[in-house]
Amino acid sequence: MDIARTPSTPEGNPEMADAAESPHEPAVIRRSDYKPFAWRVPEVSLDFALGLEETHVTAVLAVERNPQADASPTIHLDGDGLEPLTVKIDGEVATSWSMEGNDLIVSLPGDAHQIEVTTKINPSANTALMGLFASGGMLCTQCEAEGFRRITFFPDRPDVLSVYRVRMSGPKAQFPVLLSNGNLEAEGDGEDGTHWAQWHDPWPKPSYLFALVAGDLIANSDIFNTVSGREVALNIWVREGDEGRTGHAMESLKKSMRWDEETFGREYDLDLFNIVAVSDFNMGAMENKGLNVFNTKYVLADEDTATDVDFDGVEGVIAHEYFHNWSGNRVTCRDWFQLSLKEGFTVLRDQLFSQDMGSAPVKRIEDVRVLRGAQFPEDSGPLAHPIRPDSFREISNFYTATIYNKGAEVIRMIRTMAGEEAFRKGTDLYFDRHDGEAATCEDFVKAMEDGAGLDLTQFRLWYSQAGTPKVSVRLTHEGDTATLHLSQEVPPTPGQSDKQPMPIPIKLALFDRDSGEHRGEQLITLDKAQVSLSFDGFAKPPILSVNRGFSAPIVVHRDISSDELVFLAARDDDPFARYEALQDLVVGHLKDAVDGSLDDAARKDARQAITSAIAAVLADDTLDDSMRGELLVLPSESYLAETMLVADPGRIHAERQSLRAAIGSALEPEFTAVYQRASQVPYSLSAEARGARKVKTQALVYLAAGNPDLAATMAAAQYDSANNMTDRQGAMMVLCGLEGIERTNKLIDFYNRYKGNALVIDKWFALQAGSMHPAALAHVKALADHPDFTMKNPNRVRSLFMAMAYNPQAFHAEDGEGYRMIGDFILALDPINPQTAARFVPQLGKWRRIEPGRSALMREQLERIAAAPGLSRDTHEQVSRSLG
Ligand code: ARG
Ligand code: ZN
């Protein structure tokens, strides 16, 4: 049971919490329990004697009492699976220490001491990929959030900031490149073919930003001149043979550096910036000071091996990690409850960057789609938490779409309310005021109030209340006055049954029915449960365009006719609102269809309206292809499920597919024409060419639903003539969902063509696991025994099992086989890599909102996992929260 989320438990009563917990339950950490650390650690020296199987670490900590904290006779140093080989205090071997669980407690008589601890670790045995681990013959680290304690004993919390000096030595042939944070101070050769390097990072940082890399790497090197005229050496380190695919990452890095100077006034602050690509990595990338470590997926890209989406992924993640240098590193987090302080803000910064690099409206639609697909389900399920959580057991479980993506939306709302200029004043003040500090979300909000001149008193609810607000909108009309009736409701979430109304900034416009024009966009704030607003001068009822640009992360229930949606889908000048109108048209119809509340005539009418709207999108030559491609995307099955109280995934899938087939058949000539036009555009990374590739695959998907035989022939031809991965993968995606010899042939060809390229072989696995093929589950089962499949590589694991878990048709197989496979898989991965295993639990956690038959089968798997002995803290927490 999760005490923190049980409403009957009095807040902040630790005795009660302890008494209610079994001794084996991992402890609940609470935000309200925060206390500053008793000691400061101004300086740290680390010495690494490197080896793949055995690395010796000597850590020397200069510590002094923290005058801002309660004095303590001991210092508590976190550890995780470590044994102290020696402990010295002020140079003398000490015995005044003890172990408390995993942690080292050292008695310290005075006000300032030097503590030296040696430890020994085995990086090759580190399959959790936290701390120091081996990957393809190299050594590297991942310390956020609590990995540093797997390297040495340390106050492993973000509010302890130290200046690091790192010396490392190892066999030169095996590890010719030795990197750490900051600047290289000295290097040299040692005995017996060893060499060493010494690094110094002048910027005080918490342990989670420490990094070390040792390996046989080569760099793509460049130079960036900062706005104040300093020269920064840039290196992107990869394995030999991969350097040809680093160009896009380097361009993205330079653009990011320039953009942050121009847009947020942030300049880089070291003479060196290193990025290292690693193939075994739990997440996307990590912003270690001056030494970002990246999943190869977000570094390597060229036209033959990466899709347009992959190119954008590289650009976005490079930017994200670079931007952390200010939002995260220069100003860090006081404790992990403040994670969104750096992540939400940095996601907003990378979103704004990508908007500026490409099409802003398209980027906005993509970001909203991610929010709705990943964050809305989180917010409406058992794992819902505020962007600033109140408690956790395992912080790794809180690197969520809520912290990241909703966190970004919350700051975006502040920006919308303030306007760009005032927002910049707020961020300037924030960086100024808190530079070098470990700050809180409250510090950020306060800086925004003071700098941007806003009153955010009520707005703070966005930090403390979980759940997606539901806003109902109704328009009435009398005489020549239109009245807008708005009401909001924030649904209950675990541990939060009663919610207060939130201030919701809503952009809207009222379209005149006759002229088809509106009189200007307005920004209103809905800050009560109900508000009515009147607008004069409308002889006829206007048509309402609401939450334009997705100005607030809410669900809108609007009382609107399908004619009005068709109007907005064709005419709205806000591209997001236009997209939204088309989505609403489709969602409305599919909900009725899934309910069974449609007779044949009504179904025909609805399909007719949607088909004409899609035809208009295909014909509208004011649209660019990239936007056209967005408008053609049908709402995802997971988003559709989200709009229903209890979802039947089987019916959702069937109705959505059937609608797609109906549109595809009705518009076969139009889709064929678009396909042929787009196919004429030669490959380049221009917006035009990328847009063409997007609509081309969209057209193929519709055609495949309506006329599989025709689409199979077209897809096979597209595969054969493809000169880039976007076209090749698009063709494969369609073929993988179809029966027939082309499917088999092209899968074999694809595999042989890219054998040995891990990132592309990942695609080969994901294409099959994510396919519309009725036998996808059987394919996944067979692929799990493929010689290229391994549980040790997170990318590979995700490409097979994450792709399956998010393939609604496969995962929700009626007999529960998909759930069983994910259950087995979680149990098998948990002992190897708990952090990644726990990431699969939320899919099963959706059981409460699924029809009873499947719901029971999903729950059964959660119970089976919960009962397994020796479960990790990560998986245990997710499973117990999911069972509720
Ligand atoms: N801070 C990293 C980022 O840029 C992610 C670190 C994730 N850590 C984890 N334990 N999941 O978003
Ligand atoms: Zn981040």
Nearest to 637 by CA among 627, 620, 649, 621: 649
Domain end residue (candidates: 552, 567, 586) = 552
Please, what sign has the CA dihedral across residues 695, 699, 701, 702?
positive
Q: Where are the alpha helices (DSSP H) in 167-304?
A: 247-264
Ligand 1: centre distance to CA 268 (Å): 21
The domain that holds 515 is classified in CATH as 2.60.40.1840
Query: Does residue 387 sit in the same domain as residue 428?
Result: yes
Tell me how far apart the alpha carbons of residues 530 and 527 are, in angstroms, rounded to a whole number.
Answer: 8
Nearest to 433 by CA among 409, 421, 450: 450
Report whether 326 contacts 266 (CB < 8 A).
yes
- Cβ(716) – ligand 1 distance below 6 Å: no
Give the Cα-Cα-Cα angle 232, 234, 238 (nearest 5 degrees).
165
Mean pLDDT of 768-783: 98
pLDDT at residue 690 greater than cutoff 60:
yes
Query: Does residue 229 sit in the same domain as residue 200?
Result: yes
Report whether 716 contacts 678 (CB < 8 A).
no
Give me 257's structure tokens. Answer: 């550096």
Give catalytic residues, as residue numbers: 321
Q: What per-residue confidence (pLDDT) applies to 3?
A: 34
Mean pLDDT of 811-815: 98
The domain that holds 443 is classified in CATH as 1.10.390.10
Q: What per-residue confidence (pLDDT) applies to 757?
A: 98
- Cβ(399) – ligand 1 distance below 6 Å: yes
Is 500 part of a structural domain of the chain? yes
Tell me how far apart the alpha carbons of residues 506 and 850 are, in angstroms, rounded to a whole number.
Answer: 31
Tell me, what amino acid is at 517?
E
Return the ligand 1 atom nearest residue 404 CA: 12
Query: Does residue 548 sit in the same domain as residue 480?
Result: yes
At 74-129, the pLDDT tens digits run 999 999 999 999 999 999 999 999 999 999 999 999 999 999 999 999 999 999 99
Query: Does residue 164 sit in the same domain as residue 56?
Result: yes
At 479-509, the pLDDT tens digits run 999 999 999 999 999 999 999 999 999 999 9
Q: What is the 3-state secondary structure (H, E, C) of 618-653?
A: HHCCCCCHHHHHHHHCCCCHHHHHHCCCCECHHHHH
At 276-326, the pLDDT tens digits run 999 999 999 999 999 999 999 999 999 999 999 999 999 999 999 999 999
Domain that holds residue 516: 470-552
Query: Does residue 352 sit in the same domain as residue 303?
Result: no
- Cβ(145) – ligand 1 distance below 6 Å: yes
- Distance in Å from the first CA to the final CA of the chain: 7
Give me 166's structure tokens. Answer: 């790192």
Q: What per-residue confidence (pLDDT) applies to 688?
A: 97
SS3 355: helix
pLDDT at residue 824 greater than cutoff 80:
yes
Query: Does residue 72 sit in the same domain as residue 182?
Result: yes
Domain end residue (candidates: 498, 520, 552) = 552
Query: Does residue 42 sit in the same domain as residue 155?
Result: yes
Is 444 part of a structural domain of the chain? yes
Mean pLDDT of 873-884: 97
- Cβ(321) – ligand 1 distance below 6 Å: yes
Return the ligand 1 atom nearest residue 146 CA: 10
Is 686 part of a structural domain of the chain? no
Tell me, what amino acid is at 685?
L
Tell me how far apart the alpha carbons of residues 31 and 477 are, in angstroms, rounded to a whole number.
Answer: 49
Report whether 30 contacts 12 (CB < 8 A).
yes
Tell me how far apart the alpha carbons of residues 653 and 810 are, in angstroms, rounded to a whole number.
Answer: 11
Report whether 574 contacts 548 (CB < 8 A).
yes
At 516-574, the pLDDT tens digits run 999 999 999 999 999 999 999 999 999 999 999 999 999 999 999 999 999 999 999 99
Return the ligand 1 atom nearest residue 396 CA: 10
Distances (CA, A) of 601 to 597, 607, 756, 808: 12, 10, 54, 29
Q: What is the DSSP letter of 799?
A: I
Total structural domains within the chain: 3
The model's confidence at residue 2, banded by pLDDT at 50, 70 and 90, is very low
Sequence-distant (≥ 6) Cβ neighbours of residue 747 within 8 angstroms: 732, 735, 736, 764, 767, 768
Query: Does residue 426 sit in the same domain as residue 313?
Result: no
Query: Does residue 150 sit in the same domain as residue 58?
Result: yes
Ligand 1: centre distance to CA 399 (Å): 7
Ligand 2: centre distance to CA 292 (Å): 11
pLDDT at residue 13 greater than cutoff 60:
no
Query: Does residue 369 sit in the same domain as residue 502?
Result: no
Is 506 part of a structural domain of the chain? yes
Cα 36 off chain centre by: 30
Q: What per-residue confidence (pLDDT) applies to 18?
A: 41
CB environment 743-781: b (16+ within 10 A), e (fewer): beebbeebeeebeebbbbbbbbbbbbbbbbbeebbebbe
Mean pLDDT rounded to a whole number for the chain: 96
Q: What per-residue confidence (pLDDT) applies to 24?
A: 66
Tell me how far apart the alpha carbons of residues 326 and 677 are, in angstroms, rounded to a whole number.
Answer: 45
Ligand 1: centre distance to CA 576 (Å): 30
Return the ligand 1 atom nearest residue 328 CA: 1
Instruction: For residue 496, report the phi and psi dihedrals to the nearest 5 degrees.
Output: -135, 90
pLDDT at residue 14 greater than cutoff 70:
no
Ligand minimally distant from the alpha carbon of residue 340 = 2
Which residue has the CA at smallest separation from atom 2 of ligand 1? 286
- Cβ(148) – ligand 1 distance below 6 Å: no
Tell me how far apart the alpha carbons of residues 229 and 225 are, in angstroms, rounded to a whole number.
Answer: 6
Ligand 1: centre distance to CA 292 (Å): 11
Give me 401's structure tokens. Answer: 């779409």
Percent of the chain with pLDDT over 90: 97
- Cβ(394) – ligand 1 distance below 6 Å: no
Return the ligand 1 atom nearest residue 395 CA: 10
- Cβ(326) – ligand 1 distance below 6 Å: no
Tell me, what amino acid is at 806?
Y
Q: What per-residue confidence (pLDDT) applies to 11?
A: 35
Which residue has the CA at smallest separation from atom 10 of ligand 1? 396
Mean pLDDT of 257-274: 99
Is 209 part of a structural domain of the chain? yes
Ligand 1: centre distance to CA 307 (Å): 24
Ligand 2: centre distance to CA 231 (Å): 26
At 563-601, the pLDDT tens digits run 999 999 999 999 999 999 999 999 999 999 999 989 999
Sequence-distant (≥ 6) Cβ neighbours of residue 254 within 8 angstroms: 222, 224, 234
Query: Does residue 183 sit in the same domain as residue 241?
Result: yes
Residue 529 has, within 13 A of its CA and on its CB side, a CA count of 4
The complex's ipTM? 0.98
Q: What residues does 215 pair with on adjacent strands?
A: 177
Query: Does residue 522 sit in the same domain as residue 379?
Result: no
Tokens 């990197």 identify what position?
Answer: 179
- Cβ(287) – ligand 1 distance below 6 Å: yes
Mutate to test the pocket of ligand 1, among 144, 338, 397 (most ligand atoms within 8 A of CB): 144
Mean pLDDT of 236-264: 99
Please, what sign has the CA dihedral across residues 699, 759, 299, 285?
positive
Q: What residues does 199 pair with on adjacent strands?
A: 166, 184
Is 140 part of a structural domain of the chain? yes
Which residue has the CA at smallest separation from atom 4 of ligand 1? 286
Tokens 């033959």 identify what position?
Answer: 304
Is 55 part of a structural domain of the chain? yes
Domain end residue (candidates: 323, 342, 358) = 323
At 746-774, the pLDDT tens digits run 999 999 999 999 999 999 999 999 999 99
Instruction: For residue 841, report the phi and psi dihedrals to the nearest 5 degrees.
Output: -65, -40
pLDDT at residue 1 greater than cutoff 90:
no
Nearest to 285 by CA among 256, 263, 262, 308: 256
Mutate to test the pocket of ligand 1, among 205, 256, 286 (most ligand atoms within 8 A of CB): 286
Q: What per-residue confidence (pLDDT) applies to 357?
A: 98
Nearest to 334 by CA among 141, 152, 69, 71: 69
Report whether 473 contacts 486 (CB < 8 A).
yes
Report whether 86 contacts 116 (CB < 8 A).
yes
Q: What residues does 475 pair with on adjacent strands?
A: 484
Mean pLDDT of 253-280: 99
The domain that holds 106 is classified in CATH as 2.60.40.1730
- Cβ(625) – ligand 1 distance below 6 Å: no
Mean pLDDT of 212-220: 98
Q: What per-residue confidence (pLDDT) applies to 25?
A: 81
Please tell me whether the overall predicted TM-score, pTM, comes out greater than 0.95 for this model.
yes
Which residue has the CA at smallest separation from atom 1 of ligand 1? 286
Give me 542's structure tokens. Answer: 């206007």
